[in-house]
Amino acid sequence: MNKKTRVITLTAMFSALSVIYLYFAALWPTGRFGFVAFSSLFAAAAVCDGGVLPGLYVYVITSALGFLLIPDKSAPLLYVLFFGFYPVVKSLIERLKSSPGQWILKLLVFNLSLTVIWFFLRATIFDFGDNAPAAWLIYFGCNIVFLIFDYGYSKLIGFYIGNISKHLRGGRPGNR
C-alpha cells in the first residue's frame, strides 16, 4: 500500500474510533472526561504515523461527526475545545529544545482552553455560582491534573510508537 493510501486509511480508522469513544462519553457521563481524553489518543496516533496534517484531519473529522452523531454535545465540545487539537499542539510544542519553554506553552494552551470551556460548560460542569475562590481552586486543581495528564499522555504515545505503530506499518522497518 502506498503512503498516501495508508495515511488516508489510518485517518479514517482513527476518526471512526475517536467518534466511538466520544459516543461512550455521551452514554456514561461520569466517565466523560476519560472517554474524551481517550478519544484524543487516536489523533495522537495519526500524528505519530502520518504527521501533523493527518492529526488535524482526525481532529476536524471527529469534531464534525461528533456534533452530527452524538446527542449530548458536551463530549464533542470538550473534544473541539481542547482534547482533539491537543495532540497536534503537543507535537509542535515538543519540537522546541527548551523543556521549561515547552511546559510554559503547554500550560498556556491548556489554560486558554480551560477558560473557553469554563464559559461554554459552566452551567453543566462547573456550577459553583459566583464563588470566586472556588473558581481559583478549580483552575489550580485542573492545572495539576493537566500536568499529570500530559505526563501520562506522553507515556501512552511512547507505548503506541513502541508497540502498536510498527504493526500498523506491517512490522517492517522503513515501511512508513
Residue-level pLDDT at 176: 42
| Side-chain half-sphere CA neighbours of 170 within 13 A | 9
Report the alpha-carbon distance of residue 160 to residue 41 in Å, rounded: 9
Report the alpha-carbon distance of residue 25 to residue 74 in Å, rounded: 9
> In one letter, which amino acid is 83?
F
Q: For 43-83, what is each residue's pLDDT tens digit?
A: 999 999 999 999 999 999 999 999 999 998 889 999 999 99
For range 101-117, the mean pLDDT: 94
CB 15 within 8 A of CB 61: yes
Residue-level pLDDT at 120: 73
Q: For 25-47, what is each residue's pLDDT tens digit?
A: 999 988 999 999 999 999 999 99
Distance of CA 168 to the CA centre of its chain: 21
Say yes or no: domain 3-168 is CATH 3.30.60. no
Scanning the structure block, which residue is given the C-alpha cell 495528564?
149
Distance of CA 120 to the CA centre of its chain: 18
CB 10 within 8 A of CB 49: yes
Q: For 117-174, what is each residue's pLDDT tens digit?
A: 877 766 655 555 666 667 788 889 999 999 999 999 999 999 999 998 887 766 554 4
Residue-level pLDDT at 128: 56
Scanning the structure block, which residue is given the C-alpha cell 486509511?
9
pTM: 0.86
Q: Which three cell numbers stand for residue 83?
A: 482534547
CB 50 within 8 A of CB 7: yes
So where are the chain's domains?
Answer: 3-168
Q: If pLDDT is split at 50, 70 and 90, which confidence band does 3 have? A: confident
Q: Where are the alpha helices (DSSP H) in the chain?
A: 3-27, 32-50, 52-69, 74-78, 86-93, 99-121, 132-159, 165-168
